[in-house]
Structure 1
Amino acid sequence: MLQQEAEAIQGVADALARTPDFAQCVEAILSLRGRVVVTGIGKSAHIAAKMVATFNSTGTPALFMHAADAIHGDLGMIQAEDFVIAISKSGDTPEIKVLVPLLKRKGVTLAALVSNAESYLAVQADYVLHAPVEREACPHNLAPTTSTTAALALGDALAVCLLECRDFSRQDFARLHPGGTLGKQLYLKVGDLSRQNQQPRVVDTAPLKEIILEISGKRLGATAVLDSGNALIGIITDGDLRRMLTTFEGRLEAVRARDILTPAPVTIDVDDFAAEALTRMQDRNITQLVVTEHGHFAGFIHLHDLLREGLV
C-alpha cells in the first residue's frame, strides 16, 4: 500500500512537470489581494482543511469552505479578490457541479486539484493541479486513500513553494507558532532562561573554600572565574573539584581558582536561541554553558532549564 501511494506521488510530480499550471498558480497566489479559499466534499474536505492550516502557518492567508455548506450560505465568505482551490478526485461530484457556476459568477480565480483532468471541474477551472491516480490503495478501489495522499502532497508542495517565494523565515514561522515545543525552539532565547538563574562567580585568586561555597550555594554545578577586570577567564565545575581532590597532593589551603579552572569555557550569547544551547551541550557532552552579553559574563544556562521548558 505504501509503495503504491509513493508511486502515485511520483506520478503527481511527473504530471506537474508537463504543464505550467502549477507555477502559474503560485504566481497568481503571490500577487493575490484576497485570500486562498480551499474547498472539497467528503475526504477531500479533510484534505482541504489541512491545506488551509498549512497555508496559514506558512504565511499564506487561507480559509476552508465545505463544498456542501457553500451552497447553503457559506459562499458569502468568498470575495472577488479571492483564489479558490477546489479538490475533487473525479471533478464531477454533484456538489462541485453546483458550486462551480456560483464561483464563476463571483469572478474568482479557480484552481482545480483533480485526478481526472478531463472532468467538469478541470475544464471550468483557470488552473489545473493534476494529481493523477489510477487506483486507490483500498483493495476494493473504493476508499479514498491514494487519491487523498496525492492531493495532500500536492497541497504541501504548493504551500512550500509559496513559503520559499516569500522568503518566509524561521522567525516568521515562530511568530505564527508561539505555543508548544515547536514555538519555544524558534523564539525562546538563552537570556529568557539564564536570567532566572543565579550567577555564580569567583575571582581567580579565590581560595578553595570560597569556590565550594559558591558552587554549592548557587546550585548550578559550576562557577565562572573572572580576573581583576571582571573578564571571563575560565570555569570550575563540581567535577573539576572532585578530580582535583583525587589527585592533589599539596596543601588545600593554598589552592586558588586559577590553579584548577578550565580555560576558554564554552559560551553562548543571551540572544542566541535556547535550542542552540541544547545543541552545544549535546555536541560537547556537558550540562551547562556560560552565558555572555556583549562579551561579558552574564550567567549560566543549565540542561535542567531546557528540560523544564520541554526542549529536551
Structure 2
Amino acid sequence: MKRNLTIDIGQVAKRTIAVEASAINDLQQFIDADFEKVVELIATCAGRLVVTGIGKSAIIGQKIVATLNSTGTPALFMHAADAIHGDLGMIRQDDIVLCISKSGTSAEIKVLVPLVKNFGNTLVAMVGNTASFLATEADYVLNTTVTQEACPNNLAPTTSTTAQLVMGDALAVCLIEWHGFTAADFAKFHPGGALGKKLYLKVQDLCKLHEAPKVLLTSSLRDVIVEISSKMLGVTAVLDNQGKLCGIITDGDLRRMLEKNVHTETVTAQDIMSSNPKTIQQDELAINALEMMRKNDITQLLAMDGDRYSGIIHLHDLIREGII
C-alpha cells in the first residue's frame, strides 16, 4: 500500500480519540432499567455469566470475562462459532448468557441465540442495533449503539468495540460495589506479580530474608563497622542493654565521622548514631514502606514489632520483589 503523504498523524490520532470519547460519553443515556436489572441478575445468579461473541466482539468478551473473574464475579468465555460445535456444553442451568455483537445479525449469532433460549437460560444482548435479531430475541438489552466508527471508512470496529469494553467495565464496577469487593479480596485473586505483592506482601516478609543488624550503645567503632559489613545492609540499629531502640548508624554516618579526624579508639556507637530513626511496623504492607522511603529520601527503614526492633527493610528488597 502507498503511504498518504498528506496525512497529519497527530491530527488523525486526536480525531480518533475525540470520536471514541464522544461515543463513550453518549453511553450514559443507555444506562437504563435493563442495565440495572442485568446487574442485579448477575449479582444474585447461582451460576456464572457466560460471555459469547464473534470476531472483535469476541475479543472484547474475553477481556470482560477476565475483569469479572478478577473482581469476584464468576464468568467464562464461549466463542459463538465454537458453541455450535460442542462448546454449548459449557452452559449450565443457572448460568446467564451475555452475547456481544455490534450488528446483532451475524450468522453465528442467529444460530446460537435460539439454542440458548431453548436451554431456558436468561439471554442478555450487548448490541449496537436495538432493532436486530439479537436484540429482539434477548431478555435484556445493553445498548452500545455508536453513531460512527473512528475508522475513516466507518468500517473497522473501533468506536463500537470501545463502547462494548466500557459497558463491560460499567457492569464490572457495579458488581464490585454490589458485593463490597475490597482491595483485600482483590489480592486473593492476584497473588502473583507486582500487583499482587503490593496488595499482600508485608514488611516482615522481607525483613526475615536477612539478619537484623544491631549493636549496643557502648559498642566500639570496630564492632559497628563489622556489624554493618557482615550484614551487608549498609546500616545497623543501636539498642540499649534492655533491647530498646535508641538510634541508627548508616555507612554514611561512618564516612562523615571519619572525615572529622576524631580519635577512633574512643568512639562508641552512641557517638555516631542518629537518634529518632524512621521506623515502620512489621505488619504494615511493604508498599507503605516504599512510600515512607520516597517521602523521606532514604533507602531503608527499621522494622518494629510493637516497640521492639525486629529488622531492616531495604529499598533493594522492594526492587527485588518487583514492587517498584
Q: Same fold (TM over 0.5)?
A: yes
1:32 aligns with 2:38: no
- Show the counterpart of 1:116: 129
Q: Cα deviation per residue 1:20-49 (whole Å; 9 max; x = unaligned)?
A: 222211111111000000000111111111
Out of 286, 305, 318, which is 1:293 matched to? 305
Distance 1:187 1:237 in 2: 29
How far is 1:252 from its partner?
A: 2.7
- Show the counterpart of 1:67: 80
TM-score by length of 2: 0.91
SS at match of 1:39: strand
- Show the counterpart of 2:103: 90
How far is 1:113 from its partner?
A: 0.5
Q: Cα deviation per residue 1:180-222 (whole Å; 9 max; x = unaligned)?
A: 2112222222112111112110111222222122112211111
- Show the counterpart of 1:2: 17
SS at match of 2:165: helix
Task: Could you tell me which runs of 5 or more consecutive residues in structure 2 were left unpaired when the two chains were aligned.
Answer: 1-15
TM-score by length of 1: 0.95
Out of 149, 156, 163, which is 1:143 matched to? 156
- Show the counterpart of 1:245: 258
How far is 1:101 from its partner?
A: 1.5
- Show the counterpart of 2:181: 168
1:205 aligns with 2:227: no
1:231 aligns with 2:244: yes
Out of 82, 101, 118, which is 2:114 matched to? 101
Out of 140, 156, 177, which is 2:190 matched to? 177
Distance 1:32 1:90 in 2: 28
SS at match of 1:228: coil
Structure 1 segments of 4+ aligned residues over 3 angstroms from their partners: none
Aligned AA (1:91): G
1:13 aligns with 2:13: no
How far is 1:248 from its partner?
A: 6.0
Please report the RMSD computed on the Cα atoms of aligned residues, expressed in angstroms.
Answer: 1.4
SS at match of 1:307: helix
Aligned AA (1:56): N
> Higher mean Cα deviation, 20-29 or 142-151?
20-29
Distance 2:232 2:109 in 1: 65
Native 8 Å contact 1:197 1:301 kept in 2: no
Task: Could you tell me which runs of 5 or more consecutive residues in structure 1 were left unpaired when the two chains were aligned.
Answer: none
> Higher mean Cα deviation, 90-99 or 253-262?
253-262
Distance 2:293 2:89 in 1: 54
Identity across the alignment (%) = 57
Out of 55, 60, 79, which is 1:47 matched to? 60
How many residue pairs match? The answer is 309
